[in-house]
Amino acid sequence: MSFTLLPPGPRQHGFGLPLLRQMRRDYLGLARQMHTTYGDAVYTRIGHERTYEFFHPELVREVLLDPSRSFIRWERGTQVFAEVHGQSVLVTEGDTWQRQRRMLQPGFGPKRMAGYAQHMAAAAAQALDALPPQAQQTVDYGHLMTQLTMDVVLRTLFSQQIQAAGRQESLAAEQAVQVLSRLGMEEFFWPASLPYWLPHKWPARRAKRTLDTLVRRHIQQRRAEPPGVEKTDLLGMLIAVRDEAGDQGALSEQEIHDQCMTIFLAGHETTASALTWWGHCMASQPACAQRAQEEVDRVLGQRPPRYEDLPALPYLAQTLKESLRLYPPAASLISRRATRPVQVGPWQLPRGALVRITPWVLQHDARWFPEPERFDPERFSDAGQAAQVRGSYLPFGAGPRVCIGNLFAMTEMQLVAAMLLQRFQLTPVAGPPPQPVLNVTLRPAQGLRLQLQRR
């Protein structure tokens, strides 16, 4: 088998520190620039780290679908996530990860979605119907979506909801996630994390304590309930599940806490990001919004949507998928470490090589998506998806570590989007378009305000 030693890439200066500074300043911009300059495979050196950036779907699939398990997740990335998530399914590797994934998977399967959908629709109705009654209003749309998706995850995880009395806690949790996302993004570019007890780490320490207190309080409340009271939420599943295909054991108390932390964080933040960008796309593309609205009116009228309705709303799903293409919440941070020498395309990667994959670049590549900056839901019609190049569209990742909650997220997004369109027309607020910024998830740099006009 033929191979080439190294792909092209920028020359190393100052042990790669100037390149590291560029990555910290604008990771997505640098990735796009390297792809334009050097092609589908790029080699960089930062200190002792040998990094391969792959921008072609075939190369990406070789890495993410590697059958010989030659790759593990980048250790530094999992260390940063573990500081908040603990040793959850998001972080663990090997047998531990396989056991956790196997035990959690039934909780996110199709059989449970109809029950979750009722909670999703109830949370959306409560949030949208609580908006002021005037015919037209300007709202902090990103904040609205964050609070709504947080309510969804509280209902589906703990059988609780955001009440007026608990509004302060949900606002504190939202702020804590913002702090940890921003600081976590900075941590990725340091070789190690400094201890939390250092004075300058107090914002992260306080934010982590806020989220940890929220999760522990809900778990303790459940443990204090009388015996025999069973609930069908995700926490109930985590407590009851046994590893029937493995050691027959239950999840430990710490494992339950860590899984709850990941479900709470990932279960609302990425969905809020996706719905925020979808709102921007709908406000900016009135013809697409009108077509989606007509479909919703035809199928649902004024009644709340159910899980069984979603197959009858294909165009609405297309608008969401196209928004995920343009603005993937997980726009980057797919990183793998080679555990052995391995060939990817014509490149021979040594043991220890780091691989980075950036969905943002793949999904804005004109070879796979003509006129890539144009919002076009027809890319995700049946014909459009059939013509898609596999590996070019990665909003939930791919391979064994594909997001376990992807069906949950898509169900929630479709239900919330349908209920928004039933009630409002979305229009942009005067000013420059929102600029994406990557702080673990992709968000508008200055937030997003939209006008909602009641129908």
Residue of 313, 290, 322 whose CA lies nearest to 427: 290
Is 442 a domain residue?
A: no
State the pLDDT at residue 201: 85
Is 309 a domain residue?
A: yes
Residue of 128, 140, 135 whose CA lies nearest to 171: 140
Give the span between the Cα atoms of 388 and 365, in whole angstroms.
12
Give the span between the Cα atoms of 44 and 198, in whole angstroms.
33
Which are the contacts of 344, defined by CB distance < 8 A and separation ≥ 6?
Answer: 52, 54, 59, 62, 63, 355
State the pLDDT at residue 164: 57
Is 6 a domain residue?
A: no
Give the span between the Cα atoms of 367 and 387, in whole angstroms.
12
Is 197 a domain residue?
A: yes
Please write the tens of the pLDDT for every residue from 47-80. Answer: 889 999 999 999 999 999 988 889 999 999 999 9
Is 30 a domain residue?
A: yes
Give the span between the Cα atoms of 74 and 95, in whole angstroms.
17
State the pLDDT at residue 248: 67
Is 454 a domain residue?
A: no
Number of structural domains (the chain) is: 1
Cβ atoms within 10 Å, residue 96: 13
State the pLDDT at residue 17: 86
Is 362 a domain residue?
A: yes
State the pLDDT at residue 31: 96
> Dihedral sign, CA of 400, 402, 404, 408?
negative
Query: What's the residue count for the chain?
Result: 455
Cβ atoms within 10 Å, residue 138: 11
**DSSP result, 422-435:** HHEEEEEPSSSPPP
Query: Residue 64: phi, psi to the nearest 5?
Result: -75, -30
Maximum alpha-carbon separation in the chain? 68
Is 407 a domain residue?
A: yes
Domain region containing 305 = 14-432
Average pLDDT by stretches of 10, the chain with 455 residues: 74 85 92 97 92 97 91 92 93 92 93 94 95 94 97 94 75 94 88 79 92 94 82 91 79 94 94 98 98 98 96 98 97 92 94 96 98 98 96 94 95 98 96 94 96 96
CATH number for the domain harbouring residue 181: 1.10.630.10
- Spacing of C-alpha 397 from chain mean position: 9
AA letter at 190 = W
Query: Residue 50: phi, psi to the nearest 5?
Result: -100, 115
Whole-angstrom CA distances from 176 to 154, 193, 325 are 16, 18, 27
Three-state SS sequence of 356-418: EECHHHHCCCCCCCCCCCCCCHHHHCHHHHHCCCCCCCCECECHHHCCCCHHHHHHHHHHHHH
Structure tokens given for 95: 């047998």
